[in-house]
Every structure is written in structure tokens, then in C-alpha cells.
Amino acid sequence: MRTYPSTGLLVRPLDPIEAMFAATGLHVGHTVRVRGQLNAAALAEAFDLLRRKYPMLSCRIVLDRTDRVVFEAADELPALFSWTEKAGTRLPDLTDRVAAIHVARVDTETSLVTLLLHHAAADGRHGLQLMTELWAMYTAVVEGRAVHPDRQDYPRSVTQLLDERGLLPQDSALPDFAPAAGAAPSARSIGRARLTTEQTNSLVLTGHLAHTTINGLVSAALLQATAEFAGVELPEVLYAYPVDLRTRLTPPVGRTEGTNVLGATTFTAHPGTPNSTFALARAVNAQLDRAITSGDLYRAVPRHFDPTDPAGLGLFSGPTSSMSTNWGVIPSLAMPDDLTVTDFIPSINTGSRHPANTLAVDLPYYSCIVTTFQGQLTLDLITGTDANTYAHRVAHLLTLATA
């Protein structure tokens, strides 16, 4: 196990949950498909401005001489900005970085622009805020407006935030991810299904009338589809999803004030639970309400994000496991007049080559990122089988619920 020589300022050690993301090599892609004339120089300048405002984006994750995983300021390193004329090329590895920009030209008028962030440094909703600000800065640069970013503090970890509010049990046995050899994650299939605006609106209205939520309905459809594809009964499906804690904490936490401000909860249908989308949705929501009321949502954070714990992420690796993460509504992005956003594509990437990437843990067999883009509910699936077939089955179950 090699280490990088310490050449920069030590920001802080990663907390155990951040270290888990470093050990598994997870990084998150926020890809915007744009049509029009993309100005590469302006985009690079905007990324520099974003890094000046958020110093964490100029950090790297390294092992110190005691094999402790740390964030280290690396302002002397140039921004990681890549450009290719061939769509479908592999995203860059976040080796020696926590952030990068990757541009892939689809044709003369279309580009895919990805803000890539290491999961140890930012969760999905943190990344959405950074992406929103990146495009606002790009637009200002193209239009010749001055940008003077105010430097922000380094984001805090969820364990720091919970401990400050007295929500982290003092006897919590936080996992310690020491360097160890690990195999590469297994191959995955990627698929997508998108509801129309009319179908999405109908689902929201139907869910409201049935006293449930979009998150509950999507969870129910994922449970049903997983049981079908795995050939098991509903109670045999293990389901988990992270919960954004930012607005649930007092005082609340801003989107970029924490790295991964996530709790997590799990759900297994009781024997005899009706195989109904609405009944399952209400059961999922009721279980979350109990976790919030009891405080288990906060107290269980270390265990749920410990892939070595049989009751944590380590449980969710077989073909009866499913997980979703709901990023919510994709914000409207500022764009200059000669550029138009036509799509948003999230991604979870694994197996980056990094000295801290030592833990071989797969994503759950069925993993789903839920977003709403321009009024359309979208399901981006990563599975161990035919992801497109699975994604369209989930979407079909949702549309059946509104019939």
C-alpha cells in the first residue's frame, strides 16, 4: 500500500463514514446534456471559480504515514478538466482529486458535461448545489459579468453534525476502515425509465389522495419489481434508502455545509403485507416515521453505512437486495442564450484507482437514483442483470398505480 507524500495542509481526517466511501472508491456524476455552443475556456474558468469558493474541491484524499485516511489541501494541483470528442468514454478516475469536470462531445451541437465528485466529499444533493453554481458561474463568464466568490468553510461530516446536536450515542462503535486488499466490484448493467409530465403529475396527485408520497410509491414499485425479478416473496426482499438529514436537524444544515449528511433506513415487508403499490408505499412511509420519532434514523447512522456490519450495507449484496436514493427535483440551471439543457443524467461510479480504495463492496443488486427533471419522474438503475427491463417494469408498476 503506497502513500502520497504529505505536501499540503492537513484539512482533517475523514470520519468513518467518509472513509468508507473512500475505501469503496465511490464517486458521483452529475451530467448535463446541453445543445449549442459550449465554451471550453469559460467552463474551465467557472470550475476554477467554484474551487475557489469551495476549497474542499481542491483537496485530495490520501493516506498519511500511519495509514489514516485524510483530506489534504492541494491547491497547487491544477484542476482536473478533461475533454473528448467521443461520447461514451470512461469518466476520469478521481485519483489525487475529489472533483473533476469531464466533457464528451456527442456531435457538433451536443455535449455531455459531467461534474464528478468523490462521494467521501459530497453526497448527491450537495453535488446538485455545486452543479447549479457551476452553471451560474459559467453563464456569468460567458456574458462577461464579474464573479467574486466568497470562500466557504470546509464541509463537516455527518458524525460531527450529529455529535454537536447530541444525536450520536457516545458508545457508538464507529467502523474503522484500515487499508486491506480488495477485489474489484462486479460488472453492472445500467438502465433508465422516464415517466411523462402527465404521468408524473398523475402519480403525485394519486399519491396525495392515497396518503402517501412519491418516495413511498417508488419504493413500493422497487420492492415489487425486485421480488418478481428475484423470484421470491415480498418479505424476502431487503430494501434500503438514505434519508437527507439536513432539514431534519436543529439547526438545519445547508446543502454544502456537510459532506454526506445522510441517515439510512431499511424496510422488509411483513408476511401478509398486501402486494399493493399503495399498501407497500404507506408501510414504507410508516416505517420511516417510526425511525424519525424514535431517533433510530440518527443513532443507526454508523451501523447502516458500515459495509462490514452484517446489519449494515454488507447485508445488501445479494439478488434480493434493493436500494434507492431520491435526489428530488433537478433545479433549473442558468444558461447563456446559445446553450440549452436537454437532459440530466446522474451516475454512481465504483472502483476508482486510489491508494485509499481498499474495500471491495458492491452496490446493492438493484440500485436506483430517483430524480424529477423538467417535471418528469426519472429512474436511473444500476443492476446485476438487464437494467432497462427492470427500470421499465418499475415505471410500468407506477403508471398502473394511477390507472
Cα gap 280→218, rounded to integer Å: 10
Cα gap 148→135, rounded to integer Å: 15
- Is the pLDDT score of 1 beyond 50? no
Q: Are 284 and 219 in contact (CB under 8 A)?
A: yes
Give the residue, 204 or 316, on which the prediction is more confident.
204
Q: What are phi and psi of 52, to 5 degrees?
A: -70, -35
Picking from 28-37, 249-258, 314-323, 378-387, which range would have the lowest pLDDT averaged per residue? 314-323
- The band of 177, judged by pLDDT with boundaries at 50, 70 and 90, is very low
Cα gap 304→13, rounded to integer Å: 21
Read off the DSSP letter of residue 328. E
User: Which amino acid is it at 295?
Assistant: G
User: Hey, what's the cell of 132?
Assistant: 447549479
The 10s digit of each residue's pLDDT in 66-124 is 888 899 999 888 888 888 887 777 787 887 789 999 999 999 999 999 999 999 999 99
Picking from 29-38, 47-56, 80-89, 394-403, which range would have the lowest pLDDT averaged per residue? 80-89
The 10s digit of each residue's pLDDT in 303-356 is 666 655 555 555 556 788 899 999 999 999 999 999 999 999 999 887 555 555
**pTM of the complete model:** 0.91
What is the full DSSP assignment across 221-274? HHHHHHHHHHT--GGG-EEEEEEE-GGGSSS---TTSBS--EEEEEE-PPTT--
DSSP-assigned beta bridge partners for residue 241: 265
- Is the pLDDT score of 302 beyond 90? no
Supply the pLDDT for residue 217: 98
User: Which amino acid is it at 344?
Assistant: F
Supply the pLDDT for residue 358: 57
Residue 270's contacts (CB-CB under 8 Å, 6 or more residues apart) are 235, 283
Burial of 177 (0-12, 13-18, 19+ CB in 10 A): buried
- Is the pLDDT score of 360 beyond 90? no
User: Hey, what's the cell of 387?
Assistant: 437494467
What is the full DSSP assignment across 107-145? ETTEEEEEEEEETTT--HHHHHHHHHHHHHHHHHHHTT-
What mean pLDDT value characterizes the chain?
Answer: 87
Domains in the chain, CATH or no CATH each: 10-164 (3.30.559.10), 189-331+362-401 (3.30.559.30)
Q: How far is CA 291 from CA 171, 264, 321, in A?
A: 19, 10, 20
User: Which amino acid is it at 241?
Assistant: Y
Mean of pLDDT values over 183-199: 81
Q: What percent of the chain has pLDDT over 90?
A: 65
Burial of 198 (0-12, 13-18, 19+ CB in 10 A): exposed
Picking from 45-49, 198-202, 310-314, 376-380, which range would have the lowest pLDDT averaged per residue? 310-314
